Structure 1
């Protein structure tokens, strides 16, 4: 079996416990442990004239951590990756900032990573690159002579051609994409968007099964919707029953129903619209006042960026206005928390929530939606209210799908969820859970790597 090499911006420490690590980190570490392999990424440190990567081993897995030049790291991460590609892929063109210096820094970092990684590679290695930070990495490795199989997975949405053409460097990025053997996207809509661009703008040709010809390159573009570790999440949710944290939660609710949202503090998550919808729900459906509580967990993200600071202030003002308008001396309608919680704690919160609210303006998949489904009590499940613009909407057809730009429509969905009969709730939950149990993080990982292993044979 060929050795697996994973490249990502940050590397999950081998000392990080599964309960704290994300599902993706756990699955990738598991795949590496089974095959033996290497995990390569940024160390989180910067210094001028960075030395070769620090390499250490834990079990069958080697870890290689590369420092970066401070200005290169800024241009690559805060500049092009998150100042340009992130808003572009989330359809927020008004927030897109393109500077040639950032674009050049982004390419320098990818070239530097390729030079640092190449001496660690073996000819028959399978390289799996993760996310928008490293789109040019395969092209840089090819320049250095690596001919092995390289796959890429794009965890965030891929924009339609009309949006993608707004990016000054669009043509160069797609040329970079062509140097992978297999490109994985979250949904069929994402695949259609990229293939349409390639056929109409880049003058490439498309074959059945996602095969692509672009100049002298041949590769495939395929949808691989990512899942969660469903079995582990179900286990955590069941284990939470009767534990101290669940008791504290129930005591604090004092018999009231709970609605929950868990989102990184990011403008793509639609949090202001969610808060506005909750306020409209309380205004138009007064019968729910004092009978339910909404909890929004929103860990801070990119706190140094101006747009995120403004978002945080906006949400604090909205939460204060809602609570100021509707709170009673023994009831606070909206609990707004800016810190992360471990998976076991989240599982307890999800299981006790009658309503899960996942309403991003745009999302590649959104695994919170799947975690909420997995955590439910099958006999008395809650209802998932889900944005139609989350990738998870393609699979979780038992959810109440909403348009996150329609504040009143979301408020109506909250009311419907809170008044839904248990029989309908069970039916909708079962539809969703079948998908969550079938398409897990493990099957996603195995499916992508199986196709990458056969990429050259399938489409030469």
Structure 2
């Protein structure tokens, strides 16, 4: 029986040096990386994310593969400067982050930032898809990449995909304030397993689902 490989997808990745043998206890920057690093070092895996580098033009180069010297490979992609601004600083951090933390007065709703968010998650998915084996377990992380799983399904990926949200999930009344709330909900439903930090955040998601199934969804479109 083929071994299951864990494939982690996150906005940023640790450096190859941080994943090298003998670095199991070394400190890393960022809670997500700290939480996942130990697990990844215990088994063979692939970790994909944005390299942190930007280009002057949008490109579709295949991901760069780095070997850590240990069991984990790194796959990174570069983003165009405008994409990194609109997707990361824009939709992720000025729209989703305040909305999910229930600061609706701080939410910046702009169609251009959502379009950039779509372009980037499609880029993540199309870059990752050729690297996947049929026994891989894909684990997508956090609000920056909510829709990656849905696009992997569109590309034909039939394997298991999980998603963990590292920030709160808001109540239905707050969640529905987003013009693209239905898009995010449909994307979340493409995952085989969803993880939330607390029972409260899980219940908020269940309440959103109850409202949707009950037919009282307030769709702004």
- What's the TM-score once normalised by structure 1's chain length? 0.43
Tell me how far 1:20 sits from its aligned partner: 4.1
Aligned to 1:199: 210
Choose the corresponding residue for 1:55, options 41, 60, 65: 65
- The question of 1:125 aligning with 2:136 is answered yes
The alignment partner of 1:2 has SS state of coil
Deviation at 1:26, TM superposition (A): 3.7
* Cα contact 1:156–1:186 (8 A) shared by 2: yes
Q: In the alignment, is the contact (CA less than 8 A) between 1:157 and 1:186 conserved in 2?
A: yes
Structure 1 counterpart of 2:77: 66
Partner of 1:159: 170
Contact persistence 2:149–2:191 (CA under 8 A): yes
CA RMSD of aligned residues (A): 1.5
1:142 is aligned, of 130, 134, 153, to 153
- Greater CA radius of gyration, 1 or 2? 1
Distance 2:200 2:33 in 1: 26
* CA shift in 2, pair 1:91/1:26, >3 Å: closer
What is the distance in 2 between the residues matched to 1:45 and 1:202?
A: 42
TM-score normalized with structure 2 length: 0.88
Gaps spanning 5+ residues in structure 2: where?
Answer: 216-221
Confirm whether residue 5 of structure 1 aligns to residue 14 of structure 2: no
| C-alpha distance in structure 2 between counterparts of 1:20 and 1:136, whole Å | 27
Q: How far apart are the structure 1 equivalents of 2:192 and 2:214?
A: 19
Map of 2:219 onto structure 1: none
Counterpart CA distance in 2 for 1:21 and 1:97 is 28
Q: 173, 178, 190: which is aligned to 2:189?
A: 178
Partner of 2:89: 78
Quote how far apart the aligned CAs of 1:24 are. Answer: 3.9
Shift in Å, 1:108: 0.8
Cα distance, 1:119 vs structure 2: 0.8
2:74 counterpart SS class = strand
Task: Tell me how far 1:13 sits from its aligned partner.
Answer: 1.2
Structure with greater helix percent: 1
Measure, in 2, the Cα distance between the counterparts of 1:85 and 1:7.
18
Query: Tell me, which stretches of 5 or more residues in structure 1 are unaligned?
Result: 205-460
Relative to structure 1, the CA distance from residue 94 to residue 198 in structure 2 (aligned partners, 3 Å threshold; closer, same or farther) is same
User: Which of 80, 84, 107 is residue 118 of structure 2 equivalent to?
Assistant: 107
* CA distance in structure 2 between the aligned counterparts of 1:19 and 1:125, rounded to whole angstroms: 28
Query: 1:88, 1:164 within 8 Å by CA — same for their partners in 2?
Result: yes
Q: Secondary structure of the equivalent of 1:159?
A: coil
CA distance in 2, matches of 1:105, 1:134: 12
Cα distance change, pair 20–124 in 1 and its aligned pair in 2 (3 A): closer
CA distance in 2, matches of 1:152, 1:163: 21
Structure 1 segments, 4+ long, off by >6 Å, are none
> Where in structure 2 are the equivalents of 1:17-416 lying within 5 Å?
18-22=26-30, 24-47=32-55, 48-50=57-59, 51-58=61-68, 59-203=70-214
Q: Is the 8 A contact 1:2 1:35 kept in 2?
A: no
Change over 3 Å in CA distance of 1:90–1:61 after alignment to 2: same
